[in-house]
Structure 1
Amino acid sequence: MKWHHVQDNWHAFYEAIMDRWPEAEEADLDEIDGDQRDFVAYIAGLNDQSAAEAREEIREWITGELPSDVVMDPSHDNHSITNSAKYVPDGEDEYDDDARFGDGT
C-alpha cells in the first residue's frame, strides 16, 4: 500500500498503528491527522530513534494489509466498480444483471 491510503483513511489505521506501536496515543494520532512527516517524527520520538530509522520502520509496516475498515469503505467499492468497467462489453452496464453473479437483486 502507499502512504496516500493511510492518509486518506487515517482513522481506520488507528488500530493497526497501536498494534504495531502500543505506546502510541489516540489523541496524538488525532493531532497528526495523516501527515507523514509528523507521523515519522512521532514514531521516532516514541522509540528514541532517528527519523531515517522511523521512516524505515514505517515503510516495513506499510507493506502490510489494508485494515478491513478501509477495504469495506463504499468509496473503495465504487472505485473497484469503475475500474471493472473496462472488462464490460460495449452496450452493457457494469451495474446490471447481478443475478448472474449470485446477488439475485
Structure 2
Amino acid sequence: MQWKDVAQNWTAFTPRILTRWPALDEDEVLAIDGDQDGFLTYLSKTKGEDPVAAQMELADWLMGEEPADVVMDPTRDNARIKASGQNIPAGEDALSDDKRFGDDDTPEPPVAKAS
C-alpha cells in the first residue's frame, strides 16, 4: 500500500498503527493526521531509534495488506460496481436469467427410482 492511501484514511488506519506500535499514544497519532514526516519523527522519538530505522520499519509495515475496513469505502465500492458493468457483453441483460445454470423459478422434475 502507498502512504497516500494511509494519509487519506488516517482515522481508519489508526487502530492498525496502534496494533503495530502499541507504545504510541492514540491522541498523538491522530494529531499527526497523515503527515509522514511527522509520524516518522514521532515513531523514532518514541522508540528511541534513529529516523532511518523508523523509515525502514514503516516501509515494512506498508508492504502488508490493506485492511478491509479501509477498502470498504462506499465511494470506492460504487466505482468498482460501475466498472464491473464493462465486463458484460453488448446486448446482454445483466439481470436476465442464464438458462445454462438452470431456472430457479421452475421446480426440478422429481427423481424416480429405477425399477
TM-score computed with the length of structure 1 as normaliser: 0.77
- Map 1:5-84 to 2 at 5 A: 5-84=5-84
Structure 1 counterpart of 2:70, which letter?
Answer: V
Change (3 A) 1:97 1:12: same
Q: CA deviation at 1:90?
A: 5.1
Q: CA deviation at 1:14?
A: 1.2
Tell me which protein shows more helix as a share of its residues: 1
- Larger radius of gyration between Structure 1 and Structure 2: 2
How many aligned positions are there?
98
Stretch deviating more after TM superposition (72-81 or 33-42): 72-81
Contact 2:7/2:35 (CA < 8 Å) preserved in 1? yes
Mapped partners of 1:64, 1:97: distance in 2: 37
Q: CA deviation at 1:88?
A: 3.9
Q: Secondary structure at the match of 1:81?
A: helix
Q: CA deviation at 1:6?
A: 0.4
Change (3 A) 1:63 1:99: farther
Q: CA deviation at 1:20?
A: 0.7
Mapped partners of 1:98, 1:68: distance in 2: 31
Q: CA deviation at 1:63?
A: 1.2
Change (3 A) 1:98 1:62: farther
TM-score computed with the length of structure 2 as normaliser: 0.71
Structure 1: gaps of 5 or more residues: 101-105
Who is 1:97 aligned against? 95
Mapped partners of 1:99, 1:12: distance in 2: 39
**Identity, % of aligned positions:** 40
